[in-house]
Amino acid sequence: MKKIFIDVYLAFNLGDDLFLDIIAKKYPNCSFTVNYVGGDYDKFISQYNNVNRRNYNLINKIMRRLKIKDALTEYNRIAEEHDALIFLGGSIFREEEYHQSLYKDRMNMVKEFKNREKPIFVLGANFGPFETQGFINDYRRFFELCKDVCFRDTDSYELFNDMLNVRYEPDIVFQMDIEKYKNKKNKKRIGFSIIDVRHKQGLAMYHEEYINSSVKSLELLTASGYDCYLMSFCQREGDLDVINAIKSNLTLESLKKISIYEYKGNLTEVIELISTFQLFIAARFHANIIGLLLGTSILPIIYSKKTINMLRDINFNNILINMNELHLLYDNKVLKRALDNNLLLGDLSKKAEKQFNKLNTFLIN
């Protein structure tokens, strides 16, 4: 049985949890260790017989505080114990103020695997946002050490398309099995995937307008007879705070037809709910993908270029709303058009499975 170490963002964020769910189910005969030490994910991880988290006990904590030994960065031991390393995630290459410290930590990890001739994979990611050429150059050196780098959008791929180990395939979640969720539409139900724009670089100025426009949209839709669901995909990133702000501005009459849903790790529950929507007004990246997979009409709210890139790559050229046009959220004509805003995905699921092609080859050999 191959032992694989996975560096993945775990914060009860729906998209990243789906990544882990898909890879764990796809390779039941592999043993995965996630680069996570918190006990709050134990219940989620316990669903899978082949997934564990890193061991990190009280003695490790004491030794780290006393600066005797830091088990968190003991990558030589991790590389000895595992056969491969995977960086699994979406927006994991962003130029943030902590770039240098994160980059140094990642390089230390990668070099330990590389020194032992054990392969490193980057799966499901996009590149950016970034501001400097130095950031690109840093990750060019990083990618040179990897066996396979598979981006989820062509813009990211084109930045490094001269590298033979870099390629593009659609987002990993497009291969999710959704057969059991089909045909559950409730014709008078609309979902809203909510974000906190203050957590997104350069978008804090839209915070009040986003709340006010969402309120007006909800008032309009509930008055038209729709039940509406406000959905938090990641509480840690402020989704629920914004939902509460929206809720506090709604009329009592509208509140009667509005429900709040907070994702806490139950993947089946959240996807079953989304499958009942006639329309999904989707700010979160993976809200758009899940909606499309389920055959639900979507109205994308664009907070990041990554969503535009993904929709363009799959030839979705229908209506969407940018941050500078949030008034369209309560435009009756736009909402009516959005009710038929979907796409036949064709063989997109098969293409998304190719994200794992190089990993498959390694596991077979």
3-state secondary structure of 168: strand
Do 117 and 136 meet the contact criterion of CB atoms below 8 Å apart?
no
Query: In the predicted model, what is the mean pLDDT of residues 344-354?
Result: 93
- The pLDDT value given to residue 68: 54
**pLDDT class of 70 with cuts at 50, 70, 90:** low
Query: In the predicted model, what is the mean pLDDT of residues 293-318?
Result: 94
Query: In the predicted model, what is the mean pLDDT of residues 22-41?
Result: 95
Tokens of 43: 């219940």
With vertex at residue 221, the alpha carbon angle to CA 218 and CA 223, rounded to the nearest 5 degrees, is 105
- The pLDDT value given to residue 183: 66
Q: Is the pLDDT of residue 63 over 70?
A: no
Mean pLDDT rounded to a whole number for the chain: 93
Query: In the predicted model, what is the mean pLDDT of residues 66-71?
Result: 55
- The pLDDT value given to residue 339: 92
Q: Is the pLDDT of residue 365 over 80?
A: no
- The pLDDT value given to residue 71: 56
Q: Is the pLDDT of residue 112 over 70?
A: yes
Q: Is the pLDDT of residue 353 over 50?
A: yes
Helices 14-26 and 267-274 cross at an angle (nearest 10°) of 110
- The pLDDT value given to residue 67: 56
Do 105 and 73 meet the contact criterion of CB atoms below 8 Å apart?
yes
**pLDDT class of 318 with cuts at 50, 70, 90:** confident
Phi-psi region of 356 (alpha: psi -120 to 50; beta: other; left: phi over 0): alpha
Q: Is the pLDDT of residue 59 over 50?
A: no
Q: Which residue has the tokens 């994702």?
A: 263
* Sequence-separated (6 or more) residues with CB below 8 Å from residue 155: 126, 127, 128, 305, 309
- The pLDDT value given to residue 180: 85
Cis amide linkage into residue 129, ω under 30° from 0 = yes
Strand 120-125's sheet: what is its strand order?
Answer: 51-53, 31-34, 3-8, 84-88, 120-125, 148-151, 166-168
CATH number for region 3-168: 3.40.50.11720
What is the tens place of the pLDDT at every residue in 246-301? Answer: 999 999 999 999 999 999 999 999 999 999 999 999 999 999 999 999 999 999 99
Do 290 and 271 meet the contact criterion of CB atoms below 8 Å apart?
yes
- The pLDDT value given to residue 42: 94
Query: In the predicted model, what is the mean pLDDT of residues 61-75?
Result: 60
**pLDDT class of 216 with cuts at 50, 70, 90:** very high
Q: Is the pLDDT of residue 346 over 50?
A: yes
Domains of the chain, by residue range, sit at 3-168, 179-338
Q: Is the pLDDT of residue 123 over 80?
A: yes
Query: In the predicted model, what is the mean pLDDT of residues 156-182?
Result: 95
Selection from 88, 90, 71, 69 nearest residue 5 by Cα: 88
**pLDDT class of 69 with cuts at 50, 70, 90:** low
- The pLDDT value given to residue 72: 66
Selection from 183, 151, 177 nearest residue 349 by Cα: 177
What is the tens place of the pLDDT at every residue in 126-160? Answer: 999 999 999 999 999 999 999 999 999 999 999 99
CATH number for region 179-338: 3.40.50.2000
Q: Is the pLDDT of residue 66 over 70?
A: no
- The pLDDT value given to residue 199: 86
Helices 133-144 and 99-115 cross at an angle (nearest 10°) of 20
Domains 3-168 and 179-338 share a fold: yes
CA distances from 227 to 211, 273, 298 (A): 19, 12, 16
Tokens of 4: 């694989």
Q: Is the pLDDT of residue 64 over 60?
A: no
* Sequence-separated (6 or more) residues with CB below 8 Å from residue 206: 197, 323, 326
